[in-house]
Amino acid sequence: MGPGFALSLLMSLLMTSFMAHAVGQAVPESGPNGSAADRGRILLVLPFDNRTNQPSLDWIREAAPEILGRRFASAGFAPMSRTDRLYALDHLGLPPGFQPSRASSLRLAQTLDADSIVVGSYVTDGSGLVAEARLVDVPHLRMTEPVTARGELRDLISVFNSLAWKLTRQLDPGFSVAPETFVAASAGLRLDAFEQYIRGITASDREERLHHLQEAVKLSPGLGEAWMALGREDYLSQQYEQAAAAFAKVGRNDPDGLEASFYRGLSLLFYGDYSHAEESFGSVARILPLAEVLNNQAVAVSRRGLDGTALFRQAVAADPNGADYHFNLAVSLRRHGNGSEALTEIAQCLKLRPNDGEAQAIERAWKSPAGGQGAEVGVDPLERIERSFDAVAFRQAALMMDQMEGSRLAALAPSQRAQTLSKQAKDYLNRGLLLEAERLYQSAVAADGKAAEAHAGLAEVRERTGDSDAARKEARAALELTPLADAYLVLGRLDLAAKHLNDANNEANQALKLDPKSPAARDLLRQVTASEGQRQ
């Protein structure tokens, strides 16, 4: 792409910005250095420039947005997915491997309605890696000063986690999650497995993609991203049994968990396992009851010979403009003896999609004296399956739910808000999501500094990230407010590790007094007793 075209794109964007002001349209005032308290900022992370002169390290170009995107999502922002970026490039007539200039990056972000762009590069320094990135404020055409992170090449994931923390602080200077928590967020992720995953999603040849992805899950069986990509490959090649097995390996806590459950449900539907398909769609619907999910859950119910009418009604209510949902409701109503309302629903389907030949034939047959027994249409047509997952709609629905939850929390008294946030954070902590947990615990402390549960939770986060001093400080802060078993357990584990066995024994017993059924307290006491026996 020549400089003339890049300049024209920039001029076009500048003119768009000028016109927005001229006609009085609102332009967001929160730039890269502004507050991100609304947590609605959409980020576009572009592939990083490989300035190492080593083609073997080209895979890091795509690794950078993958890592940064995960951390930004955990921090509460809305990063665009790789799929979104590739779609936008295709929409602009650009190849997937295109390296945008600053001007075309802005045009790309505008196409995706992104508020900020992350652009960056990486170089090698001996055996080390140096990554650099900048934030571009799209509405105001401003670029921040660069931030850098460096480390050994074998610690590549930690390097980009550190970079993500610095960028997050630029997006929101009030962000208080510790940098150690960002680094710990990828604990246990093998670099060789992650490299195979990146090579797998970027390879142009299907066999090569499969090879790399299978190698990734062999090296790291818990790598949900690789299982997700494998599931997509099998699904697109209509290997539905294998696809369902791969999607099942994606954990419910993974960023792709909902999408994996949706496509697992589809794979099971096409494979004929309707019972498990119903369960899979149901697990998604309990979190995000979108029309396509409810519809497919209802189809699975119907294919089992049961009545899915209630679910079809919910799908219609969720999306009244979906012609297929009215079609399916009509079929279900007719099957279960409600012919009058079935005609109403098939008429609504045709109102929304007048050229639907199958629906036209069904309406004629149902209105005929034979009541649909003619040869023109089957007596019992099959309901229609929604085959596509609208990731944007899912994210928008999730964001809307977050906003509703935020409004509900804002209406609570500070102590109640802190208690609610601490409970949510504890759930994240129990699932190993440290970054998300710390973010909510920090919000709880901000709402009510006397929230003992929040301080105890932060103590456990600090313990897991290896900051013993900070962990002790938070645990003691909690105990100064109220006796808590979780706070005593943190101190007990730290004292056990430091060989302060008398203190650890006392803290384990204190935890048991507060929570006599606590397995963690009993386990700690056993470890202390064993250590005392070894010392003697």
- Tell me the per-residue pLDDT of 247-292, one tens digit each, with 9 for 90 and over: 999 988 787 888 999 999 999 999 999 999 999 999 999 888 889 9
Q: Can you give the pLDDT at residue 13? A: 31
Determine contact, residues 241/210, Cβ cutoff 8 Å: no
Residue 16 has a CB neighbour count (10 Å cut-off) of 12
Q: Can you give the pLDDT at residue 113? A: 74
CA atoms within 13 A on the CB side of 241: 1
Q: Can you give the pLDDT at residue 15? A: 29
Q: Can you give the pLDDT at residue 428? A: 85
Q: Can you give the pLDDT at residue 34? A: 38
Report d(CA 462, CA 250) in Å as an integer: 27
Determine contact, residues 522/512, Cβ cutoff 8 Å: yes
- Residue 397: pLDDT band (50, 70, 90) is low
**Segment 455-481 mean pLDDT:** 95
414-535 CATH choice from 1.10.3720.10, 1.25.40.10, 2.30.30.280, 3.40.50.280? 1.25.40.10
- Between strands 128-137 and 42-45, the pairing is unpaired
- Residue 110: pLDDT band (50, 70, 90) is low
Phi, psi angle pair for 78, to nearest 5°: -125, 80
**Segment 305-313 mean pLDDT:** 96
38-186: CATH homologous superfamily? TolB, N-terminal domain (3.40.50.10070)
Report d(CA 330, CA 310) in Å as an integer: 12
CATH fold, domain 304-389, is 1.25.40
Determine contact, residues 67/151, Cβ cutoff 8 Å: no
Burial class (CB in 10 A: 0-12, 13-18, 19+), 73: middle
Lowest mean pLDDT: which of 110-114, 201-205, 218-222, 410-414? Answer: 110-114
Q: Can you give the pLDDT at residue 23? A: 28
Which two three-digit tokens encode residue 371?
């009541």
**Segment 63-88 mean pLDDT:** 87
Q: Does domain 188-288 have CATH number 1.25.40.10?
A: yes
- For Cα atoms 227, 303, 343, give the angle at the middle one, nearest 5 degrees: 125
- Residue 336: pLDDT band (50, 70, 90) is very high
Select the more confidently predicted residue: 471 or 3. Answer: 471
Select the more confidently predicted residue: 238 or 433. Answer: 238
Report d(CA 437, CA 457) in Å as an integer: 8
Q: Can you give the pLDDT at residue 396? A: 66
Residue 294 has pLDDT above 90, yes or no: yes
**Segment 295-310 mean pLDDT:** 96
Contacts of 438 (CB under 8 A, 6+ apart): 177, 178, 181, 425, 458, 461
Select the more confidently predicted residue: 356 or 137. Answer: 356
Name the one residue in this structure whose structure tokens are 């592939």: 47
Report d(CA 449, CA 22) in Å as an integer: 46
- Between strands 116-125 and 128-137, the pairing is antiparallel
380: nearest Cα among 360, 367, 362, 354: 362
Residues in the chain: 536
Residue 104 has pLDDT above 70, yes or no: no
Phi, psi angle pair for 150, to nearest 5°: -140, 155
Select the more confidently predicted residue: 20 or 46. Answer: 46
Is 304-389 the same fold as 38-186? no
Burial class (CB in 10 A: 0-12, 13-18, 19+), 117: buried
Q: Can you give the pLDDT at residue 42? A: 81
DSSP per residue over 203-266, as a string?
Answer: -SSHHHHHHHHHHHHHH-TT-HHHHHHHHHHHHHTT-HHHHHHHHHTS-TTSTTHHHHHHHHHH
**Segment 299-313 mean pLDDT:** 96
Contacts of 215 (CB under 8 A, 6+ apart): 193, 196, 200
Percent pLDDT > 90 in the chain is 63
Contacts of 478 (CB under 8 A, 6+ apart): 452, 453, 455, 456, 459, 484, 486, 487
Q: Can you give the pLDDT at residue 6? A: 31
What number of helices (H) and strands (E) belong to the chain? 25, 7
Contacts of 503 (CB under 8 A, 6+ apart): 491, 492, 495
- Residue 127: pLDDT band (50, 70, 90) is confident
Determine contact, residues 364/376, Cβ cutoff 8 Å: yes
Lowest mean pLDDT: which of 4-13, 169-178, 503-512? Answer: 4-13
Q: What is the three-state SS of 110-159?
A: HHCCCCEEEEEEEEEECCEEEEEEEEEECCCCEECCCEEEEEEHHHHHHH
Q: Which residues of 219-258 are buried (b: 16+ CB within 10 A; e: fewer)?
A: bbeebbbbbbbbbbbbbeeebbebbbbbbbbbeeebbbbb
Q: Where are the domains of the chain?
A: 38-186, 188-288, 304-389, 414-535
Q: Can you give the pLDDT at residue 35? A: 40
- Tell me the per-residue pLDDT of 416-441, one tens digit each, with 9 for 90 and over: 999 999 999 998 888 788 888 999 99
Output the pTM of the full model: 0.77
Determine contact, residues 173/33, Cβ cutoff 8 Å: yes
Which two three-digit tokens encode residue 157?
């994931």
Report d(CA 84, CA 295) in Å as an integer: 25
The mean of the pLDDT values for the chain is 85
Report d(CA 536, CA 455) in Å as an integer: 36
- Residue 156: pLDDT band (50, 70, 90) is very high
Residue 318 has pLDDT above 50, yes or no: yes
Report d(CA 278, CA 188) in Å as an integer: 33
Task: Indicate the SS3 state at residue 19.
Answer: helix
Residue 28 has pLDDT above 70, yes or no: no
**Segment 438-451 mean pLDDT:** 93
